[in-house]
Amino acid sequence: MTEFDQDSIVAILGEAGGAPRAAVDAVQYHGLTALLNGTAPTVGEIASLSGLGVSDIEDGIEALGEVGRIDLDGDRVIGVGGLTLTPTVHSLRLPNAEMHTWCALDAVGIPAALGLTATVETRCPQCGDRITVELDRGKAATAGPVTLFCPTAPCDNVRADFCAAANLFCSPAHMARWRADNPSAAGEDLDLAATVDLGHAMWGHYKHEPSARG
């Protein structure tokens, strides 16, 4: 297996052109922060929190939408940064909120990067068995040898091209069986420690509010 290129994955999943970086960062940071508290912020609320204009935030939302990195319900952000209030197979339970994520990497990586205590529940795509990962202040532990399939192919739409395949498997053996059935799937097998490490690279910057400049 070739060396895992973490930086390339971070770059692929972070791409969102067509709007000032500050606007994109503001939508993601304030949207994700609100979702972690179980609320769906409006465009106006994000603008107020960030110090940017409503039109700037709308530009940021449009740019994220073009690459499949945001969900809206009217003018409310109900999914961004990997979190969503729309039910999926990947659930994330926090002390004060319950939500879902677009993929298994989101479910493990977000609480790991932010040092949160959480329970992640998902299912193995090969056998359908439930997988549970407990995180205590960002430190992950699990009873079995869970393995993440991390897609590495370029993607135009994060949810359609990456998240649809970024799943946790209950064991390397079931990952191997799935790979045999999906020989064209390009990706790396990551153990739980590597998944947590990628999570820090993807979401570690959300510990700090972005500057409104740029």
* Cα dihedral 106→109→114→120 (10° resolution): 70
Residue with tokens 């510990």: 207
Name the phi and psi angles at 151, rounded to 5. Answer: -60, 145
More confident residue, 1 or 89: 89
> How many other C-beta atoms are found inside a 10 Å radius of the C-beta of residue 206?
18
Query: Residue 19 is inside which H or E element, if any?
Result: none
Exposure string over 179-204, b if 16+ CB within 10 A, otherwise e: eeeeeeeebbbbebebbbbbbbebbe
Distance CA 73, CA 145 (A): 38
| 28 CB neighbour count, 10 Å cutoff | 25
Q: How confident is the model at residue 53 (pLDDT cuts 50, 70, 90)?
A: very high
> What are the chain's domains?
7-81 (1.10.10.10), 85-204 (3.30.450.410)
Q: Which of 100, 113, 81 is nearest to 201 (CA)?
A: 113
Strand partners, 139: 136
Give this prediction's pTM: 0.90
Q: Give residue-wise pLDDT tens across range 112-171.
A: 999 999 999 999 999 999 999 999 999 998 767 999 999 998 888 999 999 999 999 999
How far is C-alpha 208 from the geometric centre of its chain's CA atoms? Answer: 17
Q: Are 51 and 23 in contact (CB under 8 A)?
A: no
User: How far apart are alpha carbons 34 and 129 in whole angstroms?
Assistant: 31
Q: What is the C-alpha to C-alpha distance for residues 126 and 76, in angstroms, rounded to an integer? A: 35
52 closest CA partner among 75, 77, 32, 24:
24
Q: Is the pLDDT of residue 9 over 80?
A: no
Three-class SS state of 197? helix
pLDDT for 1 equals 35
Question: Quick one: what percent of the chain has pLDDT higher than 90?
Answer: 77
